[in-house]
Chain A
Amino acid sequence: MSNDPIIRIKDLHKSFGPVEVLKGIDMDVAPGQIVALIGPSGSGKSTLLRTINQLEDVTSGEIFFDGALVNRDLPHRQREKHLNRLRQDIGMVFQHFNLFPHLTAIENVTMAPVLLGRQTKTQALAEARALLEKVGLSDRADYYPSRLSGGQKQRVAIARALAMNPKAMLFDEVTSALDPELVGEVNKVMKQLAQEHMTMIIVTHELRFASDVADHVVFMADGVVVEEGPPDALFRAPQHERTKAFLQQVFEG
């Protein structure tokens, strides 16, 4: 294993029409690193996360994943193929779970690996059971998402992403839509992944969780990285006024 970053972002710009939401972002994520992206709403952190697997295309700049240029300039068909391959290695978990409602929990987990030829149906079922057990939901395998609580849904969504055996995981405000008492069970699963040295980028509003689990925190505002560093330094001794103001607001709010 080299120390080359698994994700490298260089001078990334993104505009929605006339509005520039990312104004030149640079970022490196080492294998096994856990990066928390924090900042006020509208700062561009979710957009940045979504550019990494190209759910959001970019205006200019470069994104590398595992050495490959993600946003290569390719004709439509080749670009789709290239992205389908890359996305298999990048797990993503969404704020609103986005579980497939017409499939049971275990079918949600087995669908992609079977469809994409990663595993046989039998292998996938065994793997999915193990993953559901890992997220504490072995007894809910045959439930449809509508019968699960928010926290349970989100844990199934994490298992679904893990089933592709990704090299990195992207978490987009995964506890923001949950009732407060359900946040803990999802955070616990993410902490466990962190201990297993999964590479993770976590967009979150929960600063306490960020400082617990991340080894690098990036504070964004207005489409730029204002300040970054280890959680201790960033939370205890922020250098920039913008960071101080944000932390003060959140901790006093």
Chain B
Amino acid sequence: MGLDFSILAGYEGVLVQGAIWTVGLTVASIVLSLVIGTLMAVFRLSGMRIVRWPVSFVIWLFMGTPLLLQLYLIYFGLVQIGLDLNAFTAGVIALSLHFAVYDADIIRAGIVAVDKGQYEAARSLGLSHAQAMRKSIVPQALYNVAPALGNMMIALLKESSLVSVIGVMELTLSAQRAISDTFRPFEFYLAAAVIYYVLNLVLEQAVKAVERRSAKYR
């Protein structure tokens, strides 16, 4: 028997619903991972050991372990200590932290690359350290590393399929459900692949738009 894509016809709703959950997971995790990653980068560069060390520990922990395990730990593990998260929330937390630690490293490199005269100029006007970082250094750092962060976002979108293991009905799990109904894995996995690809194209365009914005001032 060959491929028969007409089988998809009854399941558009399932796939679209799955895509919507995937977009939700991805957008929430991208935003959170950028915020957390930026804070981690700033704290890691901070002179204060009291914030630098815990952040370095978290980075080390999340870089050294697999995302799949992190998902299990956050969803199934935390229940044991009384923290009962729903699957979507657990998925967002795991994805955000997992990618935040990589973002943090990238952003840290971006911050270090900003000319130190920028910091001095901001401080000479009377801005505090935090204000100088927020208004001058971090925006420039983020523009500098936008392409690298864009790659992380695309990876995040794809890795979000792992969240299917804790039962979030995102795109991959939706395809699996349709397959267990129809026993047509090839068609549905291909359809899911096409949807992931299209979503990534959209994300890529968004990253390019940010890069164009920063090109204005170069």
Residue total for B at the interface (Cβ-Cβ under 8 A) = 23
Contact of A160 among B125, B139, B143 (CB under 8 A): B125
A85 to B128, CA, bound (A): 10
Tally of contacts, chain A with chain B, CB under 8 A = 68
CB-CB under 8 A for A101 and B217, given A84-B128, A115-B131? yes
A92 to B140, CA, bound (A): 22
B4 within 8 A of A: no
User: Shortest distance in angstroms between B3's beta carbon and chain A's nearest beta carbon?
Assistant: 51
Inter-subunit contact A102/B140 (CB<8 Å) = yes
Contact of B140 among A84, A101, A116 (CB under 8 A): A101
Is A161 among interface residues, defined by CB-CB distance under 8 A?
Answer: yes
Bound-state CA distance A216–B218 (Å) is 41
Q: Are B118 and A116 in contact (CB under 8 A)?
A: no
> A23-78: which residues lie under 8 A (CB-CB) from chain B?
53, 55
Q: Chain A: which residue is nearest B118 at the CB level?
A: A98
A146 close to B217 (CB less than 8 A):
yes
* Residue numbers in A under 8 Å from B125 (CB-CB): 87-88, 111-112, 116, 160-161, 164
B216 and A144 contact, CB distance less than 8 A: yes
> Is A94 part of the binding interface, using a Cβ–Cβ cutoff of 8 Å?
yes
Which chain B residue lies CB-closest to A163? B125
How distant is the Cα of A96 from the Cα of B116 in the complex, in angstroms? 11
Closest B residue by C-beta to A92: B124
Asked if A164 and B140 sit within 8 Å, CB to CB, the answer is no
Residues of B within 8 A of A100 (CB): 118, 121-122, 135-136, 140
Known: A98-B120, A98-B121, A115-B135. A164 touches B217 (CB 8 A): no
A155, chain B: closest CB distance, angstroms = 15
Q: Is B124 within 8 A of A87, CB to CB? A: yes
Q: Hey, what's the 0/1 contact readout for B103-116 against A, CB within 8 Å counting as 1? A: 00000000000010
Specify the chain A residue showing the minimal Cβ separation from B217: A144
Q: List 17 A-B contacts (CB under 8 A).
A: A55-B124, A80-B129, A85-B126, A86-B126, A88-B125, A90-B124, A94-B120, A98-B115, A98-B118, A100-B122, A101-B218, A102-B143, A102-B217, A111-B125, A111-B135, A115-B127, A116-B126
